[in-house]
């Protein structure tokens, strides 16, 4: 058998409490003179964001911010962001925030140099080669949640506001030049966001680990990522100022995202339509649908999950792992059903049709048919 694959783990990560103070230096090092800090509305007035702007300003880089960014950011947010970038004469983006701020910031830096519409760069085949890669502005990423791992990813998830679908926009240069992982920035997350984002990191590791593709590097990273979540998410949830727990969750988040180069699966395929239609939190949605998807995939992953359980110190093979996931959810306050997040049963057919064509569906170890997706939605809601 000939084994071939394309792997990529190139982000420069500056990891450590307090390292946000290096922000201006890293911006300058990648050639920025007038960066635009892109974040979401909620973060725009918070002290961590104002402090980042202070650091830029003190270094002579101005204090420009674009914050018209929704959770589950849209093409409209993107258009407005590109406009602000051009109008302000900016030369780089500080993508600052959770997945929403990071994804939109990365997309602004990318689209600032393009003439074609954003949907032409969806993550399909080699569509990314359509881009004018010289026009892409440099990106410095600063995560303030520990979940999506967008800070080390080569894609952004943008919601199409007309069709209410989440699309993955991909280009290798979406990859930030530098990422600052400062766990102190995540201390102020509300409990529900700590839980949801932490479960997103776990979902990335679990789905990457379970996907059938050949990627042993990601396989190892996914396994250790799950271990970090197991050890540190309950601690970070209970005691938000536990910097050691926050730091390890930040690692787990970045690891989940490099691991999911190996593929994601039906947890994300179900979660994406729910998020796009009901605007639920991405990670929390993943956490709710996780057990039914695990059970659905059992025939294909039973032995693999038993190995993971052994590594994680969980007795009882697949069943033990399944029970552990239920306990973890309970421990961090994840509801059992999607109805608790405001999801109704009236759009199941539509969501199932969206789930099976979601780009993540191809990585699920058991084929996600329309019928299976409907049954899973009924169970999850
Ligand atoms: N690019 C990727 O690979 C990838 C992967 C998974 C998810 N995503 C996307 O990421 C988004 C979700 O990101 P998220 O889960 O990080 O949530 P988020 O970015 O939407 O943030 C959730 C809320 O938490 C607030 N918040 C963020 N950091 C905070 C802090 N330190 N203190 C206080 N409040 C804070 C925000 O203002 C917001 O109200 C979704 O749009 C999802 O589709 C992207
Ligand atoms: Fe995710």
Give the number of the atom of ligand 1 that is nearest the alpha carbon of residue 42: 37
Alpha carbon nearest to ligand 1 atom 2, residue: 150
Question: How would residue 7 be classed by pLDDT, with cut points 50, 70 and 90?
Answer: confident
Q: Please give the distance, rounded to the nearest whole angstrom, from the Cα atom of residue 130 to the centre of ligand 2.
A: 26
Residues whose CB falls within 8 Å of the CB of residue 198, separated by 6 or more in sequence, listed in order = 146, 147, 229, 233, 236, 237, 249, 252, 283, 332
Nearest ligand by distance to the CA of 270 = 2
Answer whether residue 177 shows pLDDT above 80: yes
Q: What is the mean pLDDT of residues 207-234?
A: 97
Ligand 1 pocket mutation, candidates 8, 39, 100, 105, criterion most atoms within 8 A of CB: 100
Q: Please give the distance, rounded to the nearest whole angstrom, from the Cα atom of residue 57 to the centre of ligand 1.
A: 25
Alpha carbon nearest to ligand 1 atom 5, residue: 148
Alpha carbon nearest to ligand 1 atom 10, residue: 99
Answer whether residue 1 shows pLDDT above 90: no
Nearest ligand by distance to the CA of 145 = 1
Q: Are 167 and 120 in contact (CB under 8 A)?
A: no
HSE-CB for 345 with a 13 A CA cutoff: 7
Predicted confidence at residue 105, as pLDDT, reads 98
Q: Please give the distance, rounded to the nearest whole angstrom, from the Cα atom of residue 60 to the centre of ligand 2.
A: 36
Q: Please give the distance, rounded to the nearest whole angstrom, from the Cα atom of residue 99 to the centre of ligand 1.
A: 4
Q: What is the mean pLDDT of residues 99-124?
A: 97
Residue 168 and residue 156: Cα distance in Å, rounded? Answer: 6
Residues whose CB falls within 8 Å of the CB of residue 93, separated by 6 or more in sequence, listed in order = 35, 36, 37, 38, 85, 105, 106, 108, 109, 137, 138, 139, 140
Predicted confidence at residue 258, as pLDDT, reads 94
Least confident of 106-120, 151-165, 302-316, 322-336: 151-165
Q: What is the mean pLDDT of the chain?
A: 96
């Amino acid at each position: 058998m000939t084994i071939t694959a394309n792997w990529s783990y190139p982000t420069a990560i500056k990891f450590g409490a307090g390292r946000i103070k290096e922000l201006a230096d890293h911006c300058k090092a990648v050639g920025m003179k007038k960066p635009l800090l892109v974040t979401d509305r909620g973060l725009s007035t918070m002290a961590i964001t104002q402090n980042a702007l202070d650091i830029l300003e003190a270094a002579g880089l101005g204090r420009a911010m674009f914050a018209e960014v929704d959770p589950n950011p849209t093409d409209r947010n993107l258009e407005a962001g590109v406009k602000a970038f051009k109008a302000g004469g900016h030369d780089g983006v500080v993508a600052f925030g959770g997945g929403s701020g990071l994804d939109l910031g990365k997309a602004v830096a990318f689209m600032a140099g393009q003439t074609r519409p954003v949907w032409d760069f969806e993550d399909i085949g080699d569509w990314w080669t359509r881009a004018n890669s010289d026009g892409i502005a440099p990106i410095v990423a600063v995560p303030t949640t520990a979940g999506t791992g967008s800070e080390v990813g080569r894609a952004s998830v943008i919601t199409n506001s007309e069709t209410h679908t989440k699309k993955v926009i991909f280009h290798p240069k979406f990859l930030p030049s530098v990422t600052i992982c400062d766990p102190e920035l995540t201390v102020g997350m509300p409990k529900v966001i700590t839980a949801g984002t932490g479960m997103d990191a776990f979902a990335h590791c679990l789905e990457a680990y379970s996907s059938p593709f050949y990627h042993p590097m990601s396989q190892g990273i996914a396994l250790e990522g799950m271990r970090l979540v197991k050890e540190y998410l309950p601690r970070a949830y209970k005691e938000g100022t536990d910097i050691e727990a926050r730091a390890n969750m930040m690692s787990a988040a970045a690891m989940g995202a490099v691991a999911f180069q190996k593929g994601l699966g039906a947890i994300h395929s179900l979660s994406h339509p729910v998020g796009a239609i009901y605007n639920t939190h991405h990670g929390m949605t993943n956490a709710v649908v996780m057990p039914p998807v695990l059970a659905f995939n059992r025939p294909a992953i039973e032995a693999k999950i038993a190995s993971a359980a052994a590594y994680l110190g969980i007795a009882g093979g697949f069943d033990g792992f399944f029970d552990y996931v239920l306990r973890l959810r309970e421990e961090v306050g994840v509801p059992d059903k999607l109805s608790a997040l405001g999801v109704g049963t009236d759009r199941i057919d539509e969501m199932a049709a969206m789930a099976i064509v979601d780009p993540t569906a191809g990585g699920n170890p058991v084929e996600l048919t329309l019928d299976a997706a409907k049954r899973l939605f009924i169970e999850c809601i």
